């Protein structure tokens, strides 16, 4: 909530005052994230966001001029948070096999633990990625992911533990698809096939199987699988 006390300049001078713009903005953004991810851009109501904020509706339009602008900021903040977490993964000093399996498990768990982010991306896709396209910020954030994966894959090919000829971007696509679908379609899938997909034991199984799928895809054809 108020976790964002201003980093450098103003925090020292603005101590102990009643007006607290940074915290108000952060609060609005947090509430907006919940509301937009829950109900979508058109489903979310500014009045409801205002009510759940300790600020007033007036403040929403004061800091974020539009409903759409607020949504865009929400989306940007969500991506930023994800990439920050991803950056903490240090894959370079791990063996390729280990690094890849770790990346897969990280992605799977991360998505599972952040349904808000997944839902925002779903919603953004419903809007044809129109808002994401407006954001220079998000574009720049995502280059690193592919770079890291390319590095791991190339090392793996050199060491002979990955097969050649795969596109790292498609590998990322595969990992994303499985981890994303696990969250995005949980409701319909569970209901249709009467399967408690969200149950911890099933989530653990799925995590193992997803890791297995990816590893089997990149392993050379003559390699037998070792069970973890």
Shortest distance, CB of residue 94 to its own copies, whole angstroms? 23
Q: What is the C-alpha separation between 197 and 185, in angstroms, rounded?
A: 10
4 interacts with DNA by CB under 7 A: no
Q: Which is nearer to its own copies, 6 or 223 (CB)?
A: 223
Q: How far is residue 51's CA from residue 190's CA, in Å, rounded to a whole number?
A: 33
- CB nearer to DNA: pick between 120 and 210: 120
106 binds, among DNA, its own copies, none (CB under 5 to 8 A by kind): none
Contact of residue 7 among DNA, its own copies, none (CB under 5-8 Å per partner type): none
Element (H, E) at 123: helix 115-126
Binding positions for DNA, 128-147, rule CB under 7 A: none
**What length does the chain have?**
228
The site partner of 65 among DNA, its own copies, none (C-beta below 5 to 8 Å per kind) is: DNA
Measured between alpha carbons, how far is 90 from 96 in angstroms, rounded to an integer? 12
**Tokens (6 digits) for 227:** 């069970």
Residue 61 binding DNA, by CB under 7 A: yes
The 8-class DSSP code of residue 65 comes to -
Residue 155 binds what, of its own copies, DNA, none (CB under 5 to 8 Å, by partner type)? none
Residues 6+ apart with CB under 8 A from 135: 72, 75, 76
Instruction: List residues binding its own copies (CB under 8 A).
Output: 39-43, 119, 121-126, 128-129, 132-133, 138-139, 142, 146, 169-170, 172-174, 176-178, 180-182, 184-193, 195, 205-206, 209, 212-213, 216-217, 221-222, 224-225
**Residue 183 burial by Cβ neighbours in a 10 Å radius (0-12, 13-18, 19+):** buried
Rule CB under 7 A: choose which of 58, 93, 128, 136 binds DNA. 58
Write down the H helix ranges in 3-161.
Answer: 10-13, 21-43, 46-52, 57-63, 67-87, 96-113, 115-126, 130-134, 136-141, 143-159
Footprint of DNA (CB under 7 A)? 13-14, 17-21, 24, 44-47, 55-59, 61-62, 65-68
């Amino acid at each position: 909530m108020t976790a964002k006390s201003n980093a450098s300049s103003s925090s020292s001078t603005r101590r102990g005052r009643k007006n607290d713009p940074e915290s108000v903005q952060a609060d609005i953004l947090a509430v907006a994230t919940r509301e937009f991810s829950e109900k979508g851009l058109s489903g979310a109501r500014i009045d409801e966001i205002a009510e759940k904020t300790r600020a007033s509706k007036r403040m929403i339009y004061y800091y974020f001029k539009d409903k759409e602008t607020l949504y865009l900021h929400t989306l940007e903040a969500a991506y930023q948070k994800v990439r920050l977490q991803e950056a903490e993964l240090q894959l370079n000093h791990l063996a390729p096999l280990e690094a890849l399996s770790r990346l897969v498990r990280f992605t799977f768990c991360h998505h599972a633990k952040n349904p808000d982010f997944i839902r925002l991306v779903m919603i953004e896709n419903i809007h044809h990625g129109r808002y994401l396209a407006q954001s220079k910020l998000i574009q720049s954030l995502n280059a690193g992911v592919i770079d890291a994966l390319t590095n791991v894959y190339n090392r793996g090919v050199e060491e002979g533990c990955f097969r050649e000829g795969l596109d790292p971007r498609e590998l990322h696509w595969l990992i994303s698809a499985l981890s994303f679908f696990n969250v995005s379609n949980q409701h319909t899938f569970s209901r249709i096939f009467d399967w408690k997909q969200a149950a911890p034991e099933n989530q653990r199984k799925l995590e193992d199987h997803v890791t297995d799928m990816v590893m089997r895809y990149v392993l050379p054809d003559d390699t037998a699988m070792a069970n973890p």
